[in-house]
Structure 1
């Protein structure tokens, strides 16, 4: 067996009602002033007010930063860092979707004042230390609460990543009740995102692809494949919501240690240039990248197929990879997601620019099970158009 490294959050708290325990959970880390990081959409749900009240009852002084944007730009991260330093914050809590959690990771690091954002892009460039950090996801998709990754929009449309186990949180708090209010379209997009994480982790060509990640990916696909459509169609179904949140967590642990590849590399330009939500960006390119990969490397997809869709176990293994891809397309359609780039208002003449942008994602492309050139990327975007 090859050597591998596996990192995850130090502590994971999962279950309905965990938000009510947030004050006690935070007390195990600190008594210092807190910075709560979230976004305007979360403010409208009432969850932020609940969290502030729960923390206040435990005696905490709370400073609020609620200006996180989707695909967070550098300027918003630096604004939050300035607030943290000026208020002498001692602990950071991220509450919301993946963008809020990603910002919280970087603020906990940069508020210490020993590193600059411009110096830490890439893999393994973080030195630390960081402030105590708690992450509370309210969507079932990114798995950011257990990944050593934070994605930032730099310049006008390019995304870059900060990757280091130092930015893993001290505690991840997962309460499926917090996902009950997610609209169907967001449930669908984030759910497909979680499935992509599991699929790409399992098939990753990264040298750190490992048996733990593959095991987690299998279980993540069983949970998400069996519950996503129910969660979309019956958003109050707590069993489905719980399965989706746990599946997202497990997929996050999987790809945190066996990194994602070309699906994400081709999805990032869609988010950077057109501000398409990350989960939907993944869904738009997923079948086209998998078809490209499966031409030469069908084995991982054939192996995964029955975990997501039990009925595919009856199909000949030689045909199972393609059947798996088509079932993913069917699931995406049934969930009501857009199916091509035209539906997103993207013009055909920008496809070469997207291909150029995708090739800048070398950190991800090296993990793809099949080597991918710019011409391949353009062909995939054309198929997705």
Structure 2
């Protein structure tokens, strides 16, 4: 029962809630805001809506729309320069995880002048960030309520900034912003959030009663509503539930931590440009099966939450059903389900496995079961 739980202080969950952005920023004392997003969000018109909401409250704003997937440090540095050039005193992150991760680092670096490279690692952010509101447009990463930003170095390595200062002041959850999401992105981001919930619930390092409760509710919301959204993409209630589920999963995993699924997914993102949620979904089945001897009871408990209408003869049957359901969701989502389909070859696997064990050991330490390089390589080959 000894734990330390950190959380975003305010969550606004409301379809159509983007109109409140200006008022929320004004309450934080912001006069000049930098809106950080990507070109796709600009094309959707969401950036214009956000600017209109800010202007209605008398807040001057500019847009930085050069965010890329797996944001390169150079792009983050360009956003910091943009914030300083306009003398911003507040930041809005609008978009998927990459935009939100960028916004967190910019809010800190632009306020203090600390170089982005110096922030990489655990608790290396100095000083206080400027006010920050995060507005997700996907129901997946949970970045709107976490204190980690994952960036990409010039050598294409994943680099993480972990610091409590990255927690935003407000997470604004507006399901209207997810209505136009393509089916494959809807599925990938939802599976990402479900992985967050499962790994948080089974972490062997920092799981606690609060993170467990959040993970459980997240899995219920996501599992019940993803089929509804895939069948009826305009179902706003289901999309709002998924958005909340992803946020709850983010709150759970940032406190409990994630494990080997995330560790194995990272080389797929850096080496083969597989989106993070899709990468997690690709390796989830093999990792969950590997963990089964240790995590059977917990997987069985989660299966009962995810599939409340089903009965299972044994704990082992329930645990296996959870894994099979995750694999089924991947296959029916329209996403590619084999590593070979995203460019991975057998020759790639030794290097990927070595990267996981030597470079991402911090995540393997949270996994229910220890893994060797040979174990990781074997798991990749299961879905090659």
TM-score range, shorter chain: over 0.9
Structure 2, unaligned runs of 5 or more: none
Report how far residue 114 of structure 1 moved: 4.1
Contact 2:296 2:315 in 1 (8 A): no
Identify the match of residue 282 of structure 2 among 261, 281, 284: 284
Q: Which residue of 2 aligns with 1:317?
A: 315
Contact 2:31 2:58 in 1 (8 A): no
Once residues 274 and 127 of structure 2 are traced to their aligned partners in structure 1, the CA distance between those partners, rounded to angstroms, is 32
Cα deviations by residue, 1:337-374 (Å, 9 ceiling, x for unpaired): 21110111222210111112212112211101101111
Structure 1, unaligned runs of 5 or more: none
Question: What aligned pairs does 1:1-385 form with structure 2 within 5 A after superposition?
Answer: 2-206=1-205, 208-359=206-357, 360-385=359-384
Corresponding residue SS for 1:310: coil
Corresponding residue SS for 1:296: helix
Once residues 202 and 125 of structure 1 are traced to their aligned partners in structure 2, the CA distance between those partners, rounded to angstroms, is 27
TM-score, with normalisation over the residues of structure 2? 0.97
Corresponding residue SS for 1:295: helix
TM-score, with normalisation over the residues of structure 1? 0.97
Once residues 34 and 188 of structure 1 are traced to their aligned partners in structure 2, the CA distance between those partners, rounded to angstroms, is 32
Once residues 34 and 311 of structure 1 are traced to their aligned partners in structure 2, the CA distance between those partners, rounded to angstroms, is 48
Contact 2:272 2:343 in 1 (8 A): no
Once residues 324 and 229 of structure 2 are traced to their aligned partners in structure 1, the CA distance between those partners, rounded to angstroms, is 21
Cα deviations by residue, 1:292-315 (Å, 9 ceiling, x for unpaired): 111333222111111112134434
- Kindly tell me: are residues 255 and 131 of structure 1, through their superposed partners in 2, closer, same or farther at Cα, counting changes over 3 Å? same
Contact 1:146 1:253 in 2 (8 A): yes
Once residues 377 and 157 of structure 2 are traced to their aligned partners in structure 1, the CA distance between those partners, rounded to angstroms, is 18
Corresponding residue SS for 2:44: coil
Once residues 271 and 127 of structure 1 are traced to their aligned partners in structure 2, the CA distance between those partners, rounded to angstroms, is 29
Corresponding residue SS for 1:155: coil
Corresponding residue SS for 2:35: strand
Once residues 163 and 141 of structure 2 are traced to their aligned partners in structure 1, the CA distance between those partners, rounded to angstroms, is 17
Corresponding residue SS for 2:371: coil
Report how far residue 116 of structure 1 moved: 2.1
Report how far residue 243 of structure 1 moved: 1.3
Once residues 24 and 178 of structure 2 are traced to their aligned partners in structure 1, the CA distance between those partners, rounded to angstroms, is 20
